[in-house]
Amino acid sequence: MRGIDSETIDLIYLDPPFNSKANYAAPIGSTAAGAAFKDTWSLDDLDLEWIRKIQFREPALHRVINAAMTDSDKSYLVYMAIRLLEMKRILRSTGSIYLHCDPTMSHYLKLVMDAIFGRKNFRNEIAWHYGGRGAKAISKQFARNKDVILYYSVNDSNQTFNKQRIPYRYSVEEARKRGFRKDENGKWFKTSPRGDYTDKSIERLRKEGRIYETRTGNIRIKYFLDQDDHGIIEYKLAGDTWFDIPDAMHMSKKERTGYPTQKPLALLNRIIEASTNRGDVVFDPFCGCATTCVAADALGREWIGIDISEKAYELVNVRLRKSQGAQFYEDGSKQSSFLEEVKHRKDIPQRTDLGKIPRYNCIENKRKLFGDQEGKCNWCNVEFSIQNLEVDHIVAKSKGGTDHIDNLQLLCSHCNRVKGDRGMEYMMKLRSHLRLAA
What is the pLDDT, as a whole number, of residue 206? 94
pLDDT at 108 over 80: yes
Mean pLDDT of all residues in 312-334: 66
- Give yes or no: residues 61 and 147 share one domain: yes
> By three-state DSSP, how is residue 407 classified?
helix
Mean pLDDT of all residues in 165-191: 94
The last residue of one of the domains, among 181, 208, 234, is 234
More confident residue, 233 or 357: 233
Task: Supply the CATH number for residue 418's domain.
Answer: 1.10.30
Orientation angle between helical segments 59-66 and 71-90, nearest 10 degrees = 150
Of the ranges 48-52, 271-275, 288-292, 342-346, the best mean pLDDT one: 271-275
pLDDT at 196 over 80: yes
Taking all residues of the chain, what is their mean pLDDT, rounded to a whole number? 85
* CB 353, CB 5: distance < 8 Å: yes
What is the pLDDT, as a whole number, of residue 145? 87
What is the pLDDT, as a whole number, of residue 415? 94
Task: Supply the CATH number for residue 155's domain.
Answer: 3.40.50.150
Report the amino acid identity of residue 314: E
> pLDDT band for position 326 (50/70/90)?
very low
- Give yes or no: residues 109 and 225 share one domain: no
Q: Is residue 345 part of a domain?
A: no
pLDDT at 329 over 90: no
Of the ranges 27-31, 70-74, 148-152, the best mean pLDDT one: 148-152
- Give yes or no: residues 246 and 294 share one domain: yes
- Give yes or no: residues 157 and 201 share one domain: no
The last residue of one of the domains, among 193, 212, 234, is 234
Beta strands in 229-382 (DSSP E): 231-237, 241-242, 281-284, 302-305
- Give yes or no: residues 202 and 260 share one domain: no
pTM of the model: 0.79
Cα torsion 264, 266, 269, 271: sign: negative
Q: How far apart are CA 363 and CA 202, in angstroms?
A: 72
Mean pLDDT of all residues in 211-232: 93
- Give yes or no: residues 110 and 256 share one domain: yes
What is the pLDDT, as a whole number, of residue 38? 56
**Residue 48 CB partners (closer than 8 Å, separation 6+):** none
pLDDT at 134 over 70: no
Q: What is the dihedral of CA 247, 321, 17, 80, to 10 degrees?
A: -130
pLDDT at 182 over 80: yes
pLDDT at 255 over 50: yes
Euclidean distance between the first and the last CA atom of the chain, given in angstroms as a whole number = 37
What is the pLDDT, as a whole number, of residue 318? 80
CB count within 10 Å of CB 405 equals 17
Mean pLDDT of all residues in 329-353: 66
> pLDDT band for position 170 (50/70/90)?
very high
Rounded percentage of the chain residues whose pLDDT exceeds 70: 84
What is the pLDDT, as a whole number, of residue 27? 45
Q: Is residue 192 part of a domain?
A: yes
Strand order across the beta sheet in which 219-224 lies: 181-182, 188-193, 219-224, 211-213
Domain hosting 393: range is 363-437
> By three-state DSSP, how is residue 391 classified?
strand
> pLDDT band for position 19 (50/70/90)?
low
Q: Is residue 336 part of a domain?
A: no
- Give yes or no: residues 28 and 125 share one domain: yes
- Give yes or no: residues 187 and 39 share one domain: no
Mean pLDDT of all residues in 415-433: 78
> pLDDT band for position 341 (50/70/90)?
low
Q: Is residue 296 part of a domain?
A: yes
Cα torsion 347, 348, 354, 359: sign: negative
The last residue of one of the domains, among 213, 234, 255, is 234
pLDDT at 86 over 90: yes
Q: How far apart are CA 238 and CA 384, in angstroms?
A: 59
Q: How far apart are CA 109 and CA 102, in angstroms?
A: 10
Domain count of the chain? 3
CB count within 10 Å of CB 173 equals 9
- Give yes or no: residues 311 and 188 share one domain: no
Q: Is residue 107 part of a domain?
A: yes
> pLDDT band for position 395 (50/70/90)?
confident
Q: How far apart are CA 112 and CA 38, in angstroms?
A: 22
- Give yes or no: residues 22 and 121 share one domain: yes
**Residue 410 CB partners (closer than 8 Å, separation 6+):** 366, 369, 370, 373, 377, 378, 389, 390, 391, 392
pLDDT at 26 over 50: no
- Give yes or no: residues 72 and 13 share one domain: yes
Q: Is residue 115 part of a domain?
A: yes
> pLDDT band for position 336 (50/70/90)?
very low
* CB 222, CB 210: distance < 8 Å: yes
Q: Is residue 357 part of a domain?
A: no
- Give yes or no: residues 33 and 75 share one domain: yes
Q: Is the backbone of residue 19 left (phi > 0), alpha (psi -120 to 50) or beta?
A: left
What is the pLDDT, as a whole number, of residue 349? 84
Q: Is residue 198 part of a domain?
A: yes
What is the pLDDT, as a whole number, of residue 357? 85
What is the pLDDT, as a whole number, of residue 117? 97
> pLDDT band for position 23 (50/70/90)?
low
